[in-house]
Chain A
Amino acid sequence: MEKYKLFDAEYKFASIVWDNEPINSTELVRLCTDKLGWKKSTTYTVLKKLSDRGILQNKDAVVTALVKREDVQKYESNAVVEKSFEGSLPKFLTSFLGERKITEQEAEELKQIIEEAVK
């Protein structure tokens, strides 16, 4: 059977459930506020999403896992928001303004420069 893939945040959330199941959903919200810094609404949104995928279950305000920890895999660090978004500068503008990514060749050059400098 193919493994379920979860994002980092989803995995951390599911881990809280595995560690504490069965858990009352109010208690889960409190735990998520402490450990993840989430708002109540965020917790319920993620819970709903994972329940829809059949990974967790929320029945009568009690949350349990339907999938074992071993069957779940984290996505490789996968930046969906590609770019720094300091302030409110739209993406196309940052690239216009020269904050372009560096190529692998440039990265290699820079690495050498750094090594030279700190020698």
Chain B
Amino acid sequence: MSALPGLFTTILNMSITASYVAVGIILVRLLLRKAPKIFSYALWGVVLFRLICPLSFTSAFSFLGLLNIDSQNNAGVLEYVSNDIGFMQEPTVQSGIGSIDSAVNPSLPQTTPIASVNPMQIWMDVFSLIWLAGIVVLLSYSVISYIKIKRQLLTATLVKDNIYESDLIGTAFVFGFIHPKIYVPVNVGDADLSYILEHERTHIRRRDYLIKPFAFFALILHWFNPLMWLSFALMSRDMEMSCDESVLQKISQDAKGGYSSSLLSLSVKRTGLFAANPLAFGESHVKARIKNVLNYKKPVFWVVITSVIVLIGATIVLLSNPQLRYSNLTLANVESMTLVSELDDTKSTVITDNAEWVDIIDMINTAKRSKIPEEYRPTYGELYPIYNTLTVSAKEQGAAKTYSLMIYHHKDWDVFHGEYEYKLALNCSSESNKTELWGLPYAECYQLMEWINGIRDSKQNNDISNGEASDMNLNTAGIAKLVEDNISIIMSSPKTSSNPQDYINAHQNEYENFFKYGGEDALQYMLTQFEAGNAEGLRGQIMMRLCKELLGARNNITDESLSPQEWYNALDIRQEIELPHFEYDGQDPIEKLVYATEVEKDSASNKRGGFIIVAPKVFGSCEEEDMLKVFVTTYSARYKLFGNTLSQEGGSIIPAAITYRKDNNDRYVLEKYEQARDGSEFGPSVREYCTMPVSGKEIKGLADMIFKHYTDYEDIRILLHDNLFKHLKKNGIKDATLTNSQGEVEFSMSNPNYKP
């Protein structure tokens, strides 16, 4: 059952591709109108291929490249309708034609956070069942008809060789798959018979009796696509006409009249209803064939040559998939990977092992294909502070390319999504100096973070066993070069200005290099330059700006009128005041448990220092046997304190269910921590844990309560600041202020509003 919608989606995607190809072939057929029909007939092979085979090769000349499709997965399969459409928050279809998409997409049912099963998923199940039912009906109809005919042909009598005659049939045809026989009606005149037999023999020689049933089988798989029915009809016509032509080529040209008379007499011989069938359309088959026969001339050389060229060209154009807008990176392309990691304010450089490359390459390819909505797409301005940069040098189509995977941290995103404090960006620069930037979904970022942590841990172990790493000096020289190179580029233009900001604006990339690659080391180097008095004029101005930005909250000078050297002389780099994590001092036993669990959870994953404050909203708790389950949404934030300046380092708002087990001493021990998952899984994951701890019975209305609160969590935002205030006060801090990125005061010890 679960495989069926997937199979149906594959068929649907092939059907859409085949439709485009069929339209293309119908157009090319117009070009080939005067050409031998064998070329038109051969072209339909491309549609057949597209109907059966989901993959194809790529070429720059693909017809599908004209459409705006960016939906090819790694294996060369075109996807207009994603296999995951049933699980998407906002299902979308890409047909490559804007007006169709905009008409179809609003009609697709969206997930509401309340619904537990995505309605699109149900629809896909229903559609795939209808599809299957259609196949079963058509296949059994075909098989039954086949058997009926076969039984009627049993009594056909031998004429000679493989030719049989019967008075039960109205026309001549080939029947059978392994040993095909020709069946003709009785009482066909000798003159007609010779033409008819030649026609049927030609069918057998060309294996048409196998091709047509095979094509019909493909048609059955795609029965829902009217364009394929049309294609099948046109293919059949092209097949007959090219067969006629090949007969005429064999017998003499003068036989045209006789041959077409035979066609006519055979078709008149058919009895039954003579009234025009209301379902039939277009010129009747026989009429078109007779006209084609009468107009047939032995093709001249240049017509054949032109047709061959058109056929080959059209086949390549229609058979191939468009090239990816971004080619995929492969293991063979990669030359080296270097990781520069700066977590915990220590910088380390690691040359990575080949064995790790495959995952990273996958990650880069995912990023290149990813469609990050505009508002999430990072810009260079947001790319700092950067904690880790993985640089991948590669050669693509002969050109050197450098990819940088950067884990960065963006203030505005911290709490806004209630999710994550890191984002991942991919930057690509090539020799031609073109740079491109992509964003990556959280899952990849998390994967990369884990990976980096693994490398860092193993490296630390190595450092301990090998003693101090020997490349430290090299590193210092490298930093000096980095700083000096980039500063001199920034200072190079635009000579005419006296405003240092103009120089920085003109060289954003170089400016950002300090944050991407320099970090804490660059800061230390520049401070020694101030110390040495080597910070005059424009150089000093630019270095002061860089240092201020790198120092962030540690900078104690707010006076903007000072000259660089004056600023440095007055600078007293604030040291971080280290504080413990928050501790609950209330009486509520459940809250006490929750606070302890939440702080413990966050501090366990905290590798960047600072102290943690949590503010849980408890929706309720239930006890069953020896289990206690508490449902919460927790606002959790991490802060650092420099002097009287607070800096928020990250935060999250995540609903969760915490299960405790009562041990022998009547103490509650943490049993399980279930947390809401990201994106489209958010709703289902919350519903999943809104159950009784032991029996697993659903708790009605609870999930909806959590969803409602999640849209407006002002209460826990206030609680967070209250707790922050209490915590600072308890630790003897009398003055502390938190400003957001717009410079507005978010929290201040001196603000009476925050006195709980």
Which of B86-94, B158-166, B353-361, B747-755 contacts the other chain? B158-166
B475 at the interface (CB under 8 A from A): no
Residues of B within 8 A of A100 (CB): 276-277, 280, 284-285
Complex interface: chain A residues within 8 A of B141 (CB): 90
Let me know if A69 is at the binding interface, CB within 8 A.
Answer: no
| Chain B hits for A80, CB < 8 A | 152, 168-169
Contact A8 B165 (CB under 8 A): yes
User: Closest Cβ of chain A: how far from B514's Cβ, in Å?
Assistant: 71
Tell me, yes or no, whether A1 is within 8 Å of chain B by CB: no
Cα distance A48–B523 in the bound complex, in angstroms: 107
User: Could you give, for residues 148-189 of chain B, a 1 whenever the CB lies within 8 Å of some chain A CB and a 0 otherwise?
Assistant: 010010111110000011111111111100000000011100
Please measure, in the bound complex, the distance between the C-alpha atom of A55 and the C-alpha atom of B141, giving whole angstroms.
36
Inter-chain contact B165/A37, CB cutoff 8 Å: no
A12 and B166 alpha carbons, distance in the complex (Å): 11
Q: Which residue of A lies closest to B232 (CB)?
A: A97
The 3 closest A-B pairs by CB, nearest first: A37-B158, A118-B257, A79-B170
The contact of A81 among B169, B236, B285, by CB within 8 Å, is B169
Bound Cα distance from A36 to B268, whole angstroms: 27
Q: Assuming A91-B145, A100-B276, is B158 touching A35 (CB within 8 A)? A: yes
Could you list 17 further interchain pairs (A-B, Cβ under 8 angstroms) beyond the known A83-B170, A89-B216, A102-B268?
A: A9-B157, A9-B167, A10-B155, A12-B157, A82-B170, A82-B270, A84-B173, A86-B173, A88-B146, A90-B141, A101-B267, A104-B274, A107-B264, A110-B286, A111-B261, A117-B257, A117-B260
**Chain A residues with CB under 8 A of B169:** 79-81
Given contacts A10-B155, A100-B285, contact A78 B271 (CB under 8 A): yes
Distance, CA A84 to CA B187, complexed state (A): 17
In contact, B173 and A82 (Cβ under 8 angstroms): no
Asked whether any CB of chain A lies closer than 8 Å to the CB of B233, the reply is yes
A39 to chain B: which residues have CB within 8 Å?
A: 154
Using Cβ atoms and an 8 Å threshold, which residues of chain B touch A87?
A: 209, 212-213, 216
**Pairs across A and B, CB under 8 Å, 12 listed:** A10-B155, A35-B158, A77-B269, A79-B269, A82-B170, A82-B272, A86-B173, A95-B280, A96-B229, A98-B280, A99-B236, A101-B277
Contact string against A for B residues 682-720, beta-carbon threshold 8 Å, 1 for contact and 0 otherwise: 000000000000000000000000000000000000000
- Provide the bound-state CA to CA distance between A78 and B145, in Å: 20
**Interface of chain B residues 207 through 221 with chain A (CB within 8 A):** 209, 212-213, 216
If A9-B155, A97-B236, A114-B257 touch, whether A84 touches B171 (CB-CB below 8 Å) is yes
- Name B212's contact: one of A86, A91, A103 (CB within 8 Å): A86
Knowing A7-B155, A36-B158, A101-B273 touch, does A85 contact B175 (C-beta < 8 A)?
yes
Complex-state Cα separation, A81 to B269, whole angstroms: 12
Instruction: Evaluate contact between A118 and B256: CB separation under 8 angstroms.
Output: yes
Report whether B142 and A101 are in contact in the complex, using a CB–CB cutoff of 8 Å.
no
The reply to whether the CB of B294 lies closer than 8 angstroms to some CB of chain A is: yes
Inter-chain contact A88/B276, CB cutoff 8 Å = no
CA distance A79 to B212 in the complex (A): 24
- Is B290 engaged at the interface, CB distance under 8 Å to the other chain? yes
> Does B756 count as interface, using CB distance less than 8 angstroms?
no
B261 touches A114 (CB 8 A): yes
Q: For residue B280, which residues in chain A have a CB less than 8 angstroms away from its CB?
A: 95-96, 98-100
Residue of B nearest to A86 (CB): B173
Residue B589 at the A interface, CB < 8 A?
no
Within the complex, the shortest CB–CB distance from A57 to chain B, in Å, comes to 20
Residues of B within 8 A of A19 (CB): none
**Does A111 contact B264, Cβ atoms closer than 8 Å?**
yes
Report the bound CA distance from A77 to B170 in whole Å.
Answer: 9
Instruction: Tell me, rounded to whole Å, the shortest Cβ–Cβ distance linking B530 to chain A.
Output: 86
Which residues from A are CB-within-8-Å of B186?
8, 77
Check B282 for interface membership: any CB of A closer than 8 A. Answer: yes
Contact A101 B167 (CB under 8 A): no
Chain A: minimal CB distance from B237 (Å): 8
Bound-state CA distance A63–B97 (Å) is 74
Docked-complex contact B236 and A46, CB < 8 angstroms? no
B291 is an interface residue with CB less than 8 A from chain A: yes
> Chain A nearest CB: distance from B584 CB in Å?
76
B157–A8 touching, CB < 8 Å: yes
Report B271 CB to chain A, min CB distance, Å.
5
Say yes or no: is B279 at the interface (Cβ < 8 Å to chain A).
yes
Residues of B within 8 A of A101 (CB): 267, 270, 272-274, 277, 284
Smallest distance from the beta carbon of A75 to chain B beta carbons, Å?
Answer: 7
8 Å CB contact of A36 from B142, B157, B187, B203 = B157
User: Does A73 reach chain B (CB closer than 8 Å)?
Assistant: no
In the assembled complex, B326 has its CB within 8 A of some CB on chain A? no
Which of chain B's residues have a CB closer than 8 A to the CB of A114?
Answer: 257, 260-261, 264, 290, 294
Q: In the bound complex, how far is the Cα of B515 from the Cα of A99, in angstroms?
A: 74
- List the A side residues contacting B279 at CB < 8 Å: 95-96
**Residues in chain A near residue B232, CB distance under 8 A:** 97
**B155 engages A110 (CB within 8 Å):** no
**Contact check: which of B143, B166, B284 meets A9 at CB < 8 Å?**
B166
Tell me the bound Cα distance from A7 to B167 in angstroms: 7
Neighbouring A residues of B164 by C-beta, 8 Å: 37
Write out the residue numbers on chain B whose beta carbons fall within 8 Å of the beta carbon of A79.
167-171, 185, 269-272
A37-B164, A86-B212, A88-B145 known; A98 and B276 CB under 8 Å?
no
